[in-house]
Amino acid sequence: MIVSRLIHQAPLPAGLTPSLIIMIAPFEVGFLGYTNIMQRIDQFAAILFYIGLFLFIVLLFKVFNKSVPFGASWWAVSFPMAALSNAALKYAMFVHSWLLIAIAAVILALVSLVLIVLFIRTLNILFNGQLLKG
């Protein structure tokens, strides 16, 4: 339904664009839940991980764009990116590939940077009186 809406309907308002990153969360949380239950990483788990990673890479350039205004909706990127980071670290530890370890490290650094920026910018608009403004 979300993909259909993105293709066939009017684009999301600029303030809601960061919420697109939520689309990666089901794949990464599914990967983490599946691997915790099965106690192994198989092809299905790898497919879940790589679909989420692919969606993240595709949406990265659409969401993290200077034209998207900052607002409270930006916090919607924190949970999916943290889930992606956790899944990438778990997958990299299983595969023992230097490339996947590097990708996991980059994602972890990126999510850390994003959380710091979100915190600082949120405090900034809070103290300017713009956070709760309707």
> pLDDT tens digit string along 31-63?
999 999 999 999 999 999 999 999 999 999 888
Residue 41's domain comprises 13-127
Name which residue leads in pLDDT, 104 or 70. Answer: 104
Is 42 contained in some domain? yes
Output the average pLDDT for the chain: 90
Is 77 contained in some domain? yes
Q: What is the distance between the alpha carbons of residues 116 and 84, in angstroms, rounded to a whole number? A: 17
Domain count along the chain: 1
Give the pair of three-digit tokens for residue 55.
Answer: 């969606």
Is 132 contained in some domain? no
Is 4 contained in some domain? no
Is 1 contained in some domain? no
pLDDT band at 1 (very low <50, low <70, confident <90, very high): low
| Alpha carbon 24 to chain centroid, angstroms | 6
Is 119 contained in some domain? yes
Is 19 contained in some domain? yes
- pLDDT-above-70 percentage for the chain: 96
Is 113 contained in some domain? yes
